[in-house]
Structure 1
Amino acid sequence: MIKPFYAPKKFEEIYKHAKSRGKIIGLVTPMPLCFFEEDFREELVKNRSLHGGPCQLSSGSNFVVDYNGDILPCTHMTGFPVGNIFTNENVLKKENFLEMYNSPEEIPSKFREKMSRTASTKCDAPKCDQSCTGGCPLIWKVFDPEEEIPGIELQQEWDKVAKD
């Protein structure tokens, strides 16, 4: 199985190849931002090519509506609805949907609460100013975040060694 750390390295190769041909490409990633070398991460941010941030599973900023009206917390969670937009064969009214989606007693809010922790203690470090919260929580169902996430401090050390 490919370790999650390799995906950003592969993207960097693709990005540099595209750039050498006069193209700038973007990346929407569920990966921890500390997986990217600092200089490359800064270039991506400067070019507005890196789109990451807290996972929608924890922030509730997005959701998916499946073909049957099921509300899914993520595209990767087909078959695990947290609600449905239909009630008695009618589409749920906006106010009712927002009440259900944001109410602390309802499933969507409870689900977000369970998912809203950082993946690793390294993500809580004072020097970690990234908004990724450790990337997609589903990655960490397969891999151990304490072993895989370098954290911003370790990434800075790696960058320094690579430049020497």
Structure 2
Amino acid sequence: MFGVVRLVRDERGVSEVMAAMLLMAVVVLAIAAVATNIFGMTNVEKAPNVRLDIVDHPDPINPSATGENAFIIRHMGGDRINYNDIVVAVYDSSGQMIYNSIVSEDTTNLVTQQMSGSAYNDNFFEGGEQIVASDGVLNQAGTYEIAIYYKPTMALLYKEAVMIS
């Protein structure tokens, strides 16, 4: 009744090395997927694309309003920028920094104004607006290099040598 028991062996060509290689490939792919998600979450802030112009302020009839050595930073178009993110730096003819301030922190010397366009927004520097720097920034006439930086990245937005008279 009971016959000969035959043990069947599986003789397919699968080796342990192949299984280990497949396992390593799966682990490498999983690590790559996790790393891509983690590094993809970093928010790299870019400097805004903006066109600015800096000019000497025309001497007013009443110099006590802005002073005789004032200059104007005009937003000629492009992205709007939060006033908290705009740094104005002024360098004298020897390259020495003589003034450095964030626009929103020096409302005495840096006054925001609407030139033209849509309604004035107190928080953002937009096309058609200007920043008037009074003579509290510059104490005498001369040629100055004025630089505008974007604070989050300290990227230079605009730099120009201006003759203040």
Q: TM-score range by the shorter chain?
A: under 0.3
Bigger share in helix: 1
Bigger share in strand: 2
Q: So what's the TM-score if we normalise by structure 1?
A: 0.20
